[in-house]
């Protein structure tokens, strides 16, 4: 029996675990993939106080290192279901764990375009992580699809590796940070394609060769990097009565869901701002309110 089970070892979940540990709680962290969550796929982080610049994987390593130094228990097991009674039970691929409180910090994952053959070529020409796969396309032409800060920053990262980046956005202006927009426009090997979108993958001899755009134009590229939004990781909540909107969890001002003793924090929340600093704060606040 644990005092608190935290689902997710991203910034928010680990932040919560540190505060819970300091409060004397018996804590268990659960993570179905790599500790650090989505920060593992960020090339550079330059907006976190006290850290002028750090790569996402380095920040993820530092977070995981702190968990180990503090001796906080964790299991790398995927959560498949939760049973939310007085005692919260969390089922994973390997075990069932019980706790008095539950904090859901499971984050979100990239959304895909929904094109034919997209899943087939994921990892074989299609990616959602420039940091992970950018080196595979050295001196080649690639496309980045999206108009937010993620698409802009990843296009900039790729521009230092590949020959040319086609940055494709379905609207006439970007939604990202002004600094990133300015840098993208000043970069010589990034070509902006606005008011357009990918319509079809061009496949030849079972190899991705390019994309057809909505206006009928064909672009020859070897890789496509997709940044068109996210889907919350809340599939394991289907059997529960936790209130959600578009899959995102709804909470009160204390980060508690509609079910007593069940809290949520980080990118899995329905909110307006999705930043690393918010995720860290929300995890800490959830535990502070939980232990009052």
Report the catalytic residues.
129, 132-133
In the 8-state DSSP scheme, what is residue 252?
Answer: -
Q: Can you tell me whether residue 109 is helix, strand or coil?
A: strand
Length of the chain (residues): 292
212 Cβ contact partners less than 8 Å away, ≥ 6 residues apart: 198, 199, 200, 201, 202, 218
What's the rounded Cα separation, in Å, for the pair 198 and 211? Answer: 6
Kind of pairing, strands 230-232 and 190-194? unpaired
- Cα–Cα distances (Å) from 201 to 144, 158, 165, 221, 259, in that order, read 14, 21, 17, 10, 44
Dist. CA 150–CA 181, nearest whole Å? 11
Helix or strand or coil: residue 104?
A: strand
As given in the structure block, the two tokens for residue 276 are: 């690393």
What is the spatial distance between Cα 235 and Cα 238, in angstroms, rounded to a whole number?
6
Residue 151's nearest CA partner among 188, 186, 123, 110 is 110
What is the DSSP secondary-structure string of 159-222?
Answer: HTTSSEEEEEESSSS--S-HHHHHHHHH-TTEEEEES--EEEEEEETTEEEEEEETTS-EEE-S
């Amino acid at each position: 029996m644990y005092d608190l089970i935290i689902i997710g070892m991203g910034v928010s979940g680990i932040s919560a675990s540190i505060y819970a540990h300091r409060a004397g709680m018996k804590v268990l962290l659960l993570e179905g993939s790599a500790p650090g969550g989505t920060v593992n796929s960020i090339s550079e982080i330059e907006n976190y106080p006290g850290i002028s610049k750090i790569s996402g994987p380095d920040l993820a390593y530092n977070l995981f290192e702190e968990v180990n130094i503090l001796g906080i228990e964790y299991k790398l097991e995927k959560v498949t279901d939760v049973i939310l009674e007085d005692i919260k039970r969390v089922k994973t691929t390997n075990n069932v764990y019980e706790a008095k409180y539950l904090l859901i910090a499971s984050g979100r994952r990239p959304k895909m375009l929904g094109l034919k053959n997209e899943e087939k070529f994921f990892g074989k020409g299609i990616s959602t992580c420039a940091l992970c796969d950018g080196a595979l396309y050295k001196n080649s032409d690639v496309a980045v699809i999206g108009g937010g800060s993620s698409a802009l920053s990843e296009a900039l990262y790729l521009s230092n590796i590949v020959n040319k980046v086609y940055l494709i956005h379905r609207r006439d202006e970007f939604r990202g940070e002004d600094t990133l927009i300015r840098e993208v426009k000043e970069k010589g090997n990034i070509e902006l394609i606005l008011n357009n979108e990918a319509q079809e993958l061009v496949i030849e001899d079972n190899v991705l060769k390019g994309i057809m755009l909505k206006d009928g134009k064909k672009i020859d590229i070897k890789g496509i990097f997709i940044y068109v939004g996210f889907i919350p990781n809340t599939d394991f909540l289907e059997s529960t009565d936790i209130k959600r909107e578009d899959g995102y969890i709804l909470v009160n001002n204390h980060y508690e869901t509609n079910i007593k003793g069940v809290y949520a924090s980080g990118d899995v929340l329905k909110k307006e701002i999705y930043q690393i600093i918010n995720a860290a704060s929300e995890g800490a606040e959830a535990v502070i309110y939980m232990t009052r």
